[in-house]
């Protein structure tokens, strides 16, 4: 090891000692047989198996959503024969899917011969945005079929995700905005709910939503701040699906154009993490220049390092955005540093109830 051993911190030394111990077959056998410690060992073994089996679990979820079985069982009890007829599977295949889904708490059989949703399935059933993402993940799974090839390509090759998010496409082909706009609109309500419960939009006069698509976020904010005037800035082809009576529409690209002025609040909802640092830094500078003194910028998106959502940031979004070919997850600290470099006078985090869905930072011009 080239690292100077004398410069190692106590934490580094502890980590290396811990790993040597956990990596010992002798220690593992001892831990699995020792009272009190045995429970910890079993939980660790189960968590390790979940890492191995995670893709299989995901495919069980995909099968439940794409087959329509989640909706079919919502609020209802169905017999096994009913489920077989609904799926159109042979009985053995339907039984195998139901048993697999029961292991993940997606379904359960409260009494012999009857099936309904389990705890996880019931919680998922009203969330149309989550189910839209589950269907969308078919593209991600194809890109991750060979993760070493994906990482080794250095983002130079077109992927299923980069083609889907056409603004990230290597081919720079036009079109495709209808499909990604529909997905953004479907998933926007669960994100919007986090911020409208945490931030007072009524304090502002005019709000500009950059990358606002067809207006799903504007519509959500208008429900809690009806006196607020709105604008949406997005690509011309995207804004064709927006309602001009809901907001002033500003067609254009923030890469090439200045940001419209006259707004005391500008929002970036799931926009920043989609773009690389140079693009984001240039956009933040443009936004600061467009805001009046004491204007606000509100960044809303899942953030790396969020408490109780650590795997979501660098785990899920790290690989998702790599496959997409643009952007990266950032911590709140990284975003505040970028905002400071762009000239904002201050930035603070706005706590949300579910940071795994979205967190927020508000900055002052």
Residue 141 within a domain? yes
β-bridge mates for residue 300, sequence order: 269, 360
Q: Give the pLDDT band of residue 342 (cuts 50, 70, 90).
A: very high
Question: Do 120 and 139 reside in the same domain of the chain?
Answer: no
Q: Are residues 202 and 327 in the same domain?
A: yes
**What are 204-224's pLDDT values in tens digits?**
999 999 999 999 999 999 999
Which of 213, 248, 243 is closest to 231 using CA atoms?
Answer: 248
Structural domain including 224 reads 128-364
Residues 168 and 302 in one domain: yes
pLDDT tens digits for 148-205? 999 999 888 899 999 888 777 666 555 566 777 788 888 888 889 999 989 999 999 9
Instruction: Kindly state whether residue 44 falls inside one of the protein's structural domains.
Output: no
The better pLDDT of the pair 276, 17 is held by: 276
pLDDT value at residue 175: 54
Q: Name the average pLDDT for the chain.
A: 90
For the chain, give the percent of residues with pLDDT over 70: 96
Note the pLDDT of residue 43.
81
Q: pLDDT category, 15, cuts 50, 70, 90? A: confident
Number of domains making up the chain? 2
Please indicate, yes or no, if residue 28 is contained in any of the structural domains.
no
Q: Please measure the distance between the N-terminal and C-terminal CA atoms of the chain and give it in whole angstroms.
A: 48
Q: Residue 3 pLDDT > 60, yes or no?
A: no
134 within domain boundaries: yes
Q: Are residues 300 and 192 in the same domain?
A: yes
User: What integer is the mean pLDDT of 258-283?
Assistant: 96
Q: Is residue 163 part of a domain?
A: yes
Task: Read off the tokens for 66.
Answer: 């794409």
Q: What is the CATH number of the domain that holds 94?
A: 1.10.10.10
pTM: 0.85
């Amino acid at each position: 090891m080239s690292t100077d051993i004398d410069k190692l911190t106590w934490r580094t030394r502890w980590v290396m000692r811990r790993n040597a111990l956990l990596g010992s077959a002798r220690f593992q056998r001892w831990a699995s047989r020792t009272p009190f410690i045995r429970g910890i060992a079993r939980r660790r073994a189960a968590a390790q198996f979940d890492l191995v089996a995670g893709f299989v679990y995901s495919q069980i979820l995909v099968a439940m959503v794409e087959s329509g079985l989640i909706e079919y069982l919502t609020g209802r009890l169905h017999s096994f024969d009913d489920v077989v007829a609904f799926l159109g599977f042979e009985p053995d295949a339907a039984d195998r899917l139901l048993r697999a889904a029961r292991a993940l708490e997606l379904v359960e059989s409260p009494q012999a011969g009857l099936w309904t949703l389990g705890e996880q399935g019931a919680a998922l059933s009203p969330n149309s945005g989550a189910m839209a993402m589950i269907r969308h993940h078919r593209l991600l799974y194809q890109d991750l079929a060979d993760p070493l090839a994906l990482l080794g390509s250095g983002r130079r090759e077109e992927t299923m995700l980069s083609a889907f998010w056409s603004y990230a496409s290597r081919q720079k082909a036009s079109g495709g905005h209808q499909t990604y706009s529909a997905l953004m609109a479907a998933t926007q309500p669960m994100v919007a709910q986090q911020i409208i419960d945490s931030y007072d939009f009524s304090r502002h006069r005019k709000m500009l939503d950059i990358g606002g698509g067809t207006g799903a976020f504007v519509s959500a904010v208008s429900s809690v701040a009806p006196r607020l005037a709105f604008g949406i800035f997005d690509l011309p082809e995207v804004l064709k699906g927006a309602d001009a009576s809901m907001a002033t529409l500003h067609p254009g690209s923030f890469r090439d154009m200045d940001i419209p002025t006259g707004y005391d609040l500008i929002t970036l909802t799931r926009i920043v993490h989609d773009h690389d640092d140079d693009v984001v830094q240039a956009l933040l500078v443009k936004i600061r220049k467009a805001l009046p003194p004491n204007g606000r910028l509100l960044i809303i998106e899942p953030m790396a390092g969020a408490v109780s959502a650590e795997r979501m940031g660098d785990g899920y979004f790290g690989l998702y955005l790599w496959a997409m070919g643009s952007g990266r997850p950032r911590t709140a600290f990284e975003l505040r540093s970028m905002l400071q470099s762009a000239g904002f006078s201050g930035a603070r985090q706005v706590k949300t109830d579910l940071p795994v869905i979205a967190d927020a930072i508000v900055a002052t011009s």
